[in-house]
Amino acid sequence: MKKQRAIDAIALYEQISAEVGSMLKQPPGIIVSKLMAMVLQAPTIFQQPDPWTNVEDGMPTIPGDVNGHGEITVAVMFKTEQRVHTMIYERAIVRGKTVYRWKWPWDRIYSDGGIIRWAYLPQPPKKQEDATNGTAEPQC
């Protein structure tokens, strides 16, 4: 998809270059209207918001009752590694006190303090009923 966008942008650039060369011989009003038409044809690039949050800026929201156990699985990055790990951010009641902590997926508590950023995992694909036999298929 990105490669096709680049090819489209190059083709549009070539078209614009050719039209600008011919426009310079025309009155200013026509030049402005042609430029506006070219601007409207230009591809729009949307900047996606950064899904990663620094731990200093906040922690993941844990669903459920704030006075009980809850957990959420998120992606994390460590300051010592350039790769992503899946971890659990947990709210637990330990000796009568509410504790928030990171855990590995195999249920071991993480205590090194090297997590610098986290992001929510994407939602799984929605199931769509197959028209032929009524079975549910993931929609990708």
Q: Are 109 and 80 in contact (CB under 8 A)?
A: no
137 within 8 A of 130, measured Cβ to Cβ = yes
Give yes or no for residue 109 having a pLDDT over 80: yes
Do 87 and 24 form a contact (C-beta atoms < 8 A)?
Answer: no
pTM of the shown model: 0.56
More confident call, 39 vs 60: 60
Per-residue pLDDT at 48: 78
Positive or negative: CA dihedral 64, 70, 72, 76 = positive
pLDDT tens, 10-39?
777 777 777 766 766 777 677 777 777 877
Of 77-81, 91-95, 129-133, the range with the lowest mean pLDDT is 129-133
- In contact, 110 and 94? CB cutoff 8 Å: no
**139 has pLDDT over 60:** no
- Across the chain, mean pLDDT equals 81
Tokens of 32: 């402005």
Q: How confident is the model at residue 120 (pLDDT cuts 50, 70, 90)?
A: very high
Q: Helix (H, G, I), strand (E, B), or coil: what is residue 12?
A: helix
Residue 99: HSE in the Cβ half-sphere, 13 Å Cα cutoff:
11
If you ran DSSP here, which 8-state letter would residue 26 be given?
S
